[in-house]
Each structure stands twice: as C-alpha cells, then as structure tokens.
Structure 1
Amino acid sequence: MWNKSLLIFIRYFLILIMIFGIVINRTNLNTAMIIFIFIFLINNQIRFFSLHKTFYKIVSFVIEFIFIIVAYKWIGGYLITYLILLAIDSNIFFEKPLKHIFNLGIILQGILLSLNETLEFKFINIALLIFVVSILYLIKDESDRKLEAQMLYDKLRVSEEKLKSANRDLEVYASSIEELTLLRERNRLSREIHDSVGHALSVIVIQLGAIERTIEKNQQTAKQVTKELRKFTQSSLNEVRMAVREIKPKEFENYEGILIIEELIKNFKKLTGVDVRLAFTKKKWPLNPDQAFVIYRIIQEFLSNSVRNGKATFIQIFMAFNDYKLVVTLKDNGIGVDNLVEGIGIKSMRERVTEIGGIFNYKTKVGDGFLVKIELDKLEKLKIHSKGDNNGED
C-alpha cells in the first residue's frame, strides 16, 4: 500500500532536519538533552520497524506526544518537523476512527505549542501541518481505492475461472446427455426395425417358401398366396415409410432447401479455402422445391465464377425473407470487370430466375468485385423442368 523505501527516506530526512533545527537553535546542548533526543529517536524507530501490535503502537505514539512537548519546550528546534513525523506515523499505522483522533490531537498540539509564538509562526506551522495531514489522507484514500480495485479484480478473476470451469463441466454434461440421447434413439430405432421390418421380412421369407412349394402342385393357391404377400409387403412398406417420417424432423422438411445450400457452402469452403459467409434474417419461410433448386444452382455458379474468374478470397451471401418475398444478395471481393459481356453463366442464372417469376440483377466494376441480387416471390407451389447443370464462365 505504501512505498516503504520512500517512507524511510522521508522519515530520515525529517529526522535530519529536526536535529539540524535543534543544533542551530540550541548551541549549549548538555548530556541530558542528547540522551533525551536519542530516547526520542529510538522510540520512533522501534515503532516504525519493530512494533506490530496496535496496542504497542498506540503506547509508543502517546509517549512521542509527550516527548514532543518536552523536546520543543526544553530543547527547541523546528516544531513542524516533530509534528509531520508524528502525522506520517498516524496515517500509516492506524485506521479510522483512531487515525482521525490522533490527527486531530496532532493539530491541537501544534496550536497549543505555538500559542506564545508570533502570528507568522503560527500560520506557517499550523497551515503547513493541516496541508500535510490532508495530503496524507488523500494518499491513503487513493491507496485504499487501488487495493480495493485489486481485490475486486482478483475476485472477478477467481469468478471467471469458476465460470470457465463450470462451463467446461456443463459442456461435458451436455455432451454426455447428447451421447446418451443418441444411444437411446439408436436403441429405439433398432427395436422398431426388429419389430416391424424384421417381422415383415421373416413373414415374406416364409410366404415365399410356401409359394415355392405349392406353385407346381396348385397354381391357384400359389397365386392367392402371392396376392396376399403383395398386400402384406405393401402394408409393411407403408409402415417403414411412416416410421421414417416420424424420425425425420418436420423442421428439416420445411428448411431442407436452406440446409442443402449450407452444405454446398461448407463443402466449397473445405475444397477451396475461400471464406464464404452465409447469413439469414431471423424470420424465414420454407422454400418450395423449384426455388430451392434455382437458388442452389445460382449460388453454385456464383461461387465457381468468383474464384475462377474473379480471384475472390471472400464471399458474402445474405438471404432476406419478408412476408412477401425473398431477396438473395451475393457479393465477392474479386477483381471485378468494366463493361461485362454476359456469358453462359450469367445468362443461365437470369433464365433460371425468370422462369420462376423472379428478378435477376448484377453489378460489377474493376476493383469492386461482383454483386448479384435475386428477388423471388413467396409462392407455395411452382413446377419447372430442371435445366441441365451449366458451369460456363461469365
């Protein structure tokens, strides 16, 4: 809290000034006075360097109060050096309210000891003493604030470590729960397959064996068994399809087009190392198959052209859904081109969007990359004939 080296320097500096003041103001020092000064200094140094218990420090402090009165009246010297030395110890060793009491006592002692002195002497000594005590209060308050801030920082750091540890534990727990849930789901699926598909296949095998045995002897019976087997097989197939539909999440069906686009971008990033960012608005609605197909092909074409022709290293794709339409914006940081002559790639993208009633626009300039903007209306049902893949250059 306090800089001990600096405090020691200040203490010895004040002691030297105090001794210097005694020497120049008292030329006839006798042995008793010198012994008294040594006792005074020994008490002061023992309190600073050796005493640790508050009670002993208080006793030493009170003794020095008395020593100052005796020393100043009997030996003389500079009053202010005695009092500043005492004020420093008061603010170092004691906390509130004891510190306030001692500081007030030091100021009163300075006033009392200077009663018989000149007005100028009183003003300089008392004003300087009050100023020093105020500075010591400010230093102590600032030190306390720093110490409090450090303690708070340490607590926050400990809390942060605890939170990190708790987060790791939660991640392990979540991973365990996820694994356990997966194992339970696999177990359920295995039972479903065993109970439904396994049973159906067993029955089919038995029925096929029966048909094999009766087909030569009684074709009519074999025909009837075959007819019943076909019905049973169809029924079992419907059960399998129903089970698959139950397993497959409804959200996947609604947003399957978007998920396929995400997979396309993920694979493209792995293969090329190009940074591709895909973002959506919070509100989304399901794409119908034709919209999903067109957007997929256009993104595929744009990614290919951006790297091959535009030498792009960063691509942004944003899909903005609202109540009536979807706006897809594709932008790269490629070299761009002025006065672009449309090639097969651009024409193919325009045709695809136009066929489902959308709007296609693009913009490019040298040094400004390539921008494509698509607007599609929100439609539930659209059917078009899928055109062949076209990876021509712009």
Structure 2
Amino acid sequence: MEKQQPIIFVRYYVIFLIIFGILLDRHTLNSISIIFILIYIINNQLRFFSFSKEIYKIGSYFLELILILVLYEKVGGYAFTYLILASIDANVIFKFPLSIIFDAVVIGEGIYFSVPETIACKMYTIGSITAIIAILLFVKQQETRKIQAQDLYDKLRVSEKKLIEANRDLESYSASIEELTVLRERNRISREIHDSVGHALSTIIIQLGALEKVSEKSNPSANSRIKNLREFTQKSLAEVRNAVREIRPEKYEEYESILELKSLIDNFKKMTGVEVRLTVTKDKWALSQKQFLTVYRIMQEFLSNSVRHGKASIIRILMNFTEYSLVIILEDNGVGTATVSKGIGLKSIEERIKEIGGSFYYNTSPDNGFLVNVEINRNEKIKIYLSNSGGAEPDGKD
C-alpha cells in the first residue's frame, strides 16, 4: 500500500502511545534508555520514509524486532503498542510472503511477552495482535485489488486508444485505396471507350465520307441519307468524347505518380506478404519528374530496408498534399538498431535529395520501429527527417 496520510497519522499516534507507555511504566529514564528510544524511532522512520532498497528495509525491520525486546525488558512500556507498530509496518512496507513471515514473528514476540502474565492477559494480548494483523491483511488485500483494478482500467484505456487510432488509420487507408481504385478504373474505362468506341466511330465517319463522295453523282437520294448518317455519327463521336472527358479524372496527371507508387506498393505486398497501408489526402498536385523519381526511390528503399533490416510486418505510408508542399510519412514496426551506418541505399537517397536541393537527418533506437518524414516543396526543395528507426541500414549493409 502507498504511504497515505491516514497510515502516517496512525503510525505517529502509536509511537506517541509507545513513549507515553514508557513514561507511565518507568518514571525515571537514564541517558542509555533515551539513546535506545531514539535509535528505535530513527530506525523506524528511516525504514518507512527513506529506505528504497528491500534489503535495507528487511535489515531495519529485524533491528526493530531486537530493539523491541531490549526496550520492553530494559526501558519498559507496553508490549501491545510495540507490536501494533511492528504489525503495521510488516503489512504496509512489505509484500507477500515477507509480510506473512514478519506477522508470524510479531505474534511470536507477543507470545514471548505474555509468558509471565495470566492466561486471560495472554489470550487478550495474542488475540488482539492477531486481530490487528488480520485487519491489516484484509485492508492490504483490498488495496491490492483496487490497484490491480486501476492498472487493468489504465491498460484498457490505452488499448482502447490504440484501437481507435488503428481504426482511424484503417479508415483513412481504406478511403485512400478506394479513391485510387476508382480513379484507376475511371481512367481505364475512359481509355477503353476512347480506344474502342471512339476509334470505331472515327472509322465509320471516314468510310461514310468516302461513300458520300461516291454517291454524290450516281445516287443523290442515297447521298443525302449517307450525309445525314455521317453527321449523326460525328455528333455521336462528340458525345462519346465528352463522356470520356467526364469519366476521366480531372487533371489526371496529378494522380499518375500516386498510381505508380501504388503499383510499387502492390507488387511489394505480393512479393513479401508484408502489410503496407497507403493513405493519400484528397487535395493533390502533380509531381515533377525529379520529385517523383526521388520519392519513388525513397519509398522503394524504405520498403526494402523495412523487411531486410527492420524485420517489419506492417508499414504505413501517408502522403499529405498541402498548398505549398508534400509531406510523406513512412513508418514501420521494425526491430530498430542502436547504430546506423550509411550503406549504398542511404547514400543513394542522400545524393538524390542533394540534387534537388534537399537534406536529410536520421536517428534510430532498438525496438522502436522506423519513421521517415519527407517534406517536398513544389519548388523541388526537399527536407527529410528520419527518427525512431527499425528499417534503417545497420552495420553498413545496403
């Protein structure tokens, strides 16, 4: 149990009773008696408030048990008050099984003190000490259960918080994947319509134009129908092209680089079986060729190192497009490492970033996973921050 105010008050009250009993039992005290009393009180207070190591507390408690015998025999007082304080400390300071052992020793001293007394006094002393110990054990048990319940509640709260965060990540991941899938499918459909239906209608228009010229003199009535059919087909082709423009994502070049990165991730997942979650914000802008190639190589290197060196099983990637920059967060649950030596992979990333005016920093520690924060400005200036790593390249490996 914790050193709470009620316990402290009870201890000081019992110490007061011990001193008061000594004064009542022995009217005259010499210097040696006072020294023993001071040693007893100082030892008791040091054990309760100052000693942190278990071995010091145990030694102090055994010293107190000896001092109780000396004080009761040589100085006087009431054995009952000595044993109450010893019982309190046995159950407040020490844990099972030491508390039970010291309780047994306290009861043993109670039996020793009651030997010269009458049977009724013996029963009263031993019964009282036993009852007090039983109460202390009960209170300690309830306090332990309370602490365990609080610990369990705290763990549940932490688990709930992690579950909420994981659910939020999964929702973002699911939304991003769904958005990218829809974009890719819309682009595929628009391309298929353009290449198949559009091409067929264009061919029909060309053929109808040729027939219209042939029939212009030989068959004027057929020529008029062919002309109407050609014009109708041209309108149909225009409508098809409008539909293709509607289906095709607006400013599709903004999504092409993301779809390329998603293809990289999908292939990586198929090859390794590692779970990779890609989340992309709705607002996007097109990456330049240098920016895309740099991001592609960083992501490629991160995925590779997370598996080879970090032994990761889950990788999370967030692409956050803002008005002026793109922030990419790459994180895995790898094993981490105490030191990182730059291999070919990290040196290659550093060179690519320097080429577009960027820089990067990193650190790592064991069992903390690997986190990379990449910031790309639209003017192609890159800053990279690496921290808490598990997927970095340890010991100079590539």
TM-score, normalised relative to structure 1: 0.55
1:130 aligned partner: 130
- CA deviation vs aligned residue, 1:223-262 (integer Å, no higher than 9, x gap): 69949x79xx8xx99xx9xxxxxx9xxxxxxxxxxxxxxx
Instruction: State the one-letter code of the partner of 1:43.
Output: N
Q: Which residue of 1 aligns with 2:30?
A: 30
> 1:182 maps to what in 2?
182
Structure 1 residue 218 displacement after superposition: 1.6
Look up the match of 1:111: 111
| Residues 128-161 of structure 1, C-alpha deviations (whole Å, 9 max, x = no match) | 1111111111111111111111111111111111
Distance in 1 (CA, whole Å) between partners of 2:142 and 2:211 is 100
Matches within 5 A, 1:229-268: none
Shift in Å, 1:182? 0.6
Alignment of 1:88-237 (within 5 A): 88-219=88-219, 222=222, 226=226
**Residue 198 of structure 1, CA deviation:** 0.5
Q: Tell me how far apart the structure 2 counterparts of residues 225 and 114 of structure 1 sit (CA, whole Å).
A: 130
Question: Would you say 1:13 and 2:47 are equivalent positions?
Answer: no
Say if 1:214 and 1:221, in contact at 8 Å, map to a contact too: no
Query: 2:186 and 2:49 mapped to 1: Cα distance?
Result: 75
In structure 2, C-alpha distance between the alignment counterparts of 1:172 and 1:135, rounded to whole Å: 55
What amino acid is the match of 1:131?
A
How far has the Cα of 1:210 moved from its partner? Answer: 2.0
Give 1:123 shift: 1.8
Q: Which letter maps to 1:31? A: S
Aligned pairs (5 A) from 1:306-325: none
Q: Is the 8 A contact 2:68 2:82 kept in 1?
A: yes
Counterpart Cα distance in 1 of 2:15 and 2:128: 17
In the alignment, is the contact (CA less than 8 A) between 1:211 and 1:225 conserved in 2?
Answer: no
Aligned residues: 235
Say which is worse superposed, 160-169 or 25-34, in terms of deviation: 25-34
Contact 1:214 1:222 in 2 (8 A): no
User: Could you say which residue in structure 2 is the equivalent of 1:68?
Assistant: 68
Between the aligned partners of 1:74 and 1:3, the Cα distance in structure 2 is 32
Equivalent residues of 1:83, 1:129 under 8 A apart = yes
CA distance in 1, matches of 2:28, 2:213: 144
Contact 2:18 2:77 survives alignment (8 Å)? yes
1:110–1:126 Cα contact (<8 Å) kept: yes
Q: Could you tell me which residue of structure 2 aligns to residue 347 of structure 1?
A: none
Q: Do the aligned partners of 1:40 and 1:64 also contact (CA within 8 Å) in 2?
A: yes
Equivalent AA in structure 2 for residue 28 of structure 1: T
3-state SS of paired residue (1:215)? helix
Paired with 1:214 and 1:88, the residues of 2 have a C-alpha distance of 117
What amino acid is the match of 1:116?
P
Q: How many angstroms apart in 2 are the aligned matches of 1:216 and 1:103?
A: 121
| CA shift for structure 1 position 42 | 1.6
What amino acid sits opposite 1:154 in the alignment?
D
1:21 alignment partner AA: G
**How far did residue 216 of structure 1 move?**
2.6
In the alignment, the residues of structure 1 paired with residue 112 and residue 55 of structure 2 have an alpha-carbon distance, to the nearest angstrom, of: 26
Match of 1:39 in 2: 39
What SS does the aligned partner of 1:217 have?
A: helix
**SS at 2:217 equivalent:** coil
Q: CA deviation at 1:221?
A: 10
**Take 1:157 and 1:106, find their aligned partners in 2: how far apart are those partners?**
42
- Cα RMSD for the two superposed structures: 2.8
Shift of 1:187: 1.7
- 1:191 Cα deviation (Å)? 2.2
The answer (yes or no) to whether the contact 2:216–2:223 under 8 Å persists in 1 is no
- Encode CA deviations 1:260-319: one digit per residue, 9 max, x unaligned: xxxxxxxxxxxxxxxxxxxxxxxxxxxxxxxxxxxxxxxxxxxxxxxxxxxxxxxxxxxx
1:186 is displaced (CA, Å) by 0.7
Specify the SS of the correspondent of 1:193: helix
Q: What's the CA shift for 1:110?
A: 0.4
Contact conserved, 2:212 with 2:226, CA < 8 A, in 1? no
Secondary structure of 2:120's counterpart equals helix
Larger Rg: 1
Superposition deviation, residue 220 in structure 1:
8.1
CA distance in 1, matches of 2:66, 2:142: 31
**1:117 is aligned with what amino acid?**
E
Matched AA of 1:175: A
* Structure 1 counterpart SS, 2:216: coil
Q: Which amino acid aligns with 2:6?
A: L
Report the Cα distance in structure 1 between the residues aligned to 2:93 and 2:166, rounded to whole angstroms: 42
Residues 211 and 222 of structure 1 are in contact (CA less than 8 Å); yes or no, is this contact kept in structure 2? no
Report the Cα offset of residue 222 of structure 1. Answer: 4.8
Alpha-carbon deviation of 1:86? Answer: 0.7
Classify the secondary structure of the residue corresponding to 2:96: coil
- Distance in 2, matches of 1:34 and 1:76, equals 12
Q: What's the offset of the Cα at 1:68?
A: 0.9
Counterpart in 2 of 1:58?
58
SS of the residue corresponding to residue 216 of structure 1 reads: helix
Percent sequence identity is 55
The aligned amino acid for 2:126 is I
- Distance in 2 (CA, whole Å) between partners of 1:224 and 1:196 is 28
